[in-house]
Structure 1
C-alpha cells in the first residue's frame, strides 16, 4: 500500500497528460506515493482536444460560482475514481490535491465545501471562487503558489484566497513568485513537492 496519493488537476483546455514530466520526477523523488492525473470530465468549449472542469464561455464574477457548483458532481466522480483505484477511499487524510488554474479552483472548492477532507491542497495560479457557504475540515493544509506577473489569473486572487481561508480557520501558506507568469516553474514545483512530502512523509529525508 502506498504511503499517500497525490491527484494532479489540470487547467482549462489542457489534459492530465500535461503533468507527465512532473509525475515522472515525483515518481522518482517520492517513490512510495501514488500519483494520478485525470482528464477533466468535459470537452473544452474552444478546442475539442482539450478538457475543462467547467465552461469559461461568457464566464463572469457573478456566474462563476454557480458553474463551480454545477461541476461538483462530475469533479467528485473523477476524484472518487482516482481514490478508489489507488485504495484510498477511507484514507483521505493521506491524499493531496495539486491543481493548476481551473484545477486549483476546483481543488479549493472541494475542501472549503467540506466534501473532501484531504490532507492538503496545492493551488497554483488559482482563486477561491466558491459560493461563500464554507464548511471545511480545518485539518486540511493549503499551499497557494502564484506568480506576481500572471496575466491570466491576477496574483491578488491567491492573496484574497489566503485571507479568506485563514479567516475560516484553515492553515494557509501563500508563496508569491516574483516575475513568474501563468505557468509552473521549477521553484514552484519544488515548493509543492516539499509541502506534499511534509504532509505524507513527515520525517523523510528524500529531496
Structure 2
C-alpha cells in the first residue's frame, strides 16, 4: 500500500524543532500520514540555526541563482529523508510544506517538478525561481501569507499565485489580515484541510 508523507521545511536561521509542533498538530487529524521535519543542509552564516541558501547580500537579482545553486543539496536532503522512511517518490504520495525560505524552496520544487509531488504548501513565501516554469497540469498548491508580514510582503504570494495559475497550477490562497511573518492557528488548520484533500 502506498505511503503518505509531508516534509516540513523551516525558514532561514531556524531548525527542524521549530516546525515539530505544527507536524504534531497535523498528525492529530491525519494519523495515516508521516510528517517529517528536517534541518536545512547548511549552517546559518549569520547566527544559529540552518539555511537552504545564504541571504548575505542577497538581492532580487541574485536570489534566483542562489535558489538554483541550492537545488543539489535540497534534492539530496529530500531523497535522504525518504530513504530513511523507506519511501519512494515513484510509488508514494509526498507533499512539501515550507515556511519563509523553506517555502521558497518548496515552490521551486513545484515549478521545476523535480519530484512527483501531491501538492505544496507555502507559508509566508515567495516565488523567486528563474523562469520558464514546468507546466502544472492542475497540480495543487496552497499559499498562506499574513497581510502584515514585515519580512516578505504578502504581495509576493499574490504575485506567485498569478504566475503559478498562468503555468497551469491549481492554486488556493489565504491572506490573513493582521498577521505577520508567522504560521497562525487559522493557517495551520487551512493547511491541514488542504493536506487531507490532496492525500485522499
Same fold? TM cut 0.5: yes
Task: Quote the RMSD (CA, aligned, Å).
Answer: 1.4
What are the superposed Cα offsets for residues 134-185 of structure 1, whole Å, 9 maximum, x if unpaired? 1144242110000000000000000000000000111001111111000011
Structure 1 residues without counterparts, runs of 5 or longer: 203-207
Would the aligned equivalents of 2:53 and 2:66 in 1 still touch at CA under 8 Å? Answer: yes
- Give the drift of 1:82: 1.6
Distance 1:26 1:191, change over 3 A: same
Runs (4 or more) in structure 1 with deviation over 4 Å come to: none
Aligned residue number for residue 57 of structure 2: 58
Give the structure 1 partner of residue 71 of structure 2.
72
Q: Is contact 2:140-2:169 (8 Å) kept?
A: yes
For the 8 Å contact 2:136–2:167, the answer to whether it is kept is no
**TM-score, length-scaled by structure 2:** 0.95
Cα 1:32–1:2 shift into 2, 3 Å: farther
After TM superposition, the score normalised by the length of structure 1 is 0.92
Count, aligned residues: 200
Counting only pairs closer than 5 Å after superposition, residues 162-181 of structure 1 correspond to structure 2 as: 162-181=161-180
| 2:12 alignment counterpart | 12
Give the Cα–Cα distance (whole angstroms) in 2 for the partners of residues 19 and 196 of structure 1.
16
Displacement of 1:29: 2.0
3-state DSSP class of the match of 2:38?
A: coil
3-state DSSP of counterpart to 1:37: strand
Distance 1:196 1:62, change over 3 A: same
What is the CA–CA distance in structure 1 between the aligned matches of 2:125 and 2:37, rounded to whole Å? 18
Counterpart CA distance in 1 for 2:185 and 2:90 is 29
Superposition deviation, residue 83 in structure 1: 1.9
CA separation of 1:164 and 1:92: change in aligned 2, threshold 3 A: farther
Q: Deviations over 1:40-92 (max 9, x none)?
A: 00010111x31000000000000000000000000000111122222331446
- Map 1:110-189 to 2 at 5 A: 110-189=109-188
Distance 1:135 1:93 in 2: 21
Tell me, yes or no, if structure 1 residue 25 matches structure 2 residue 25: yes
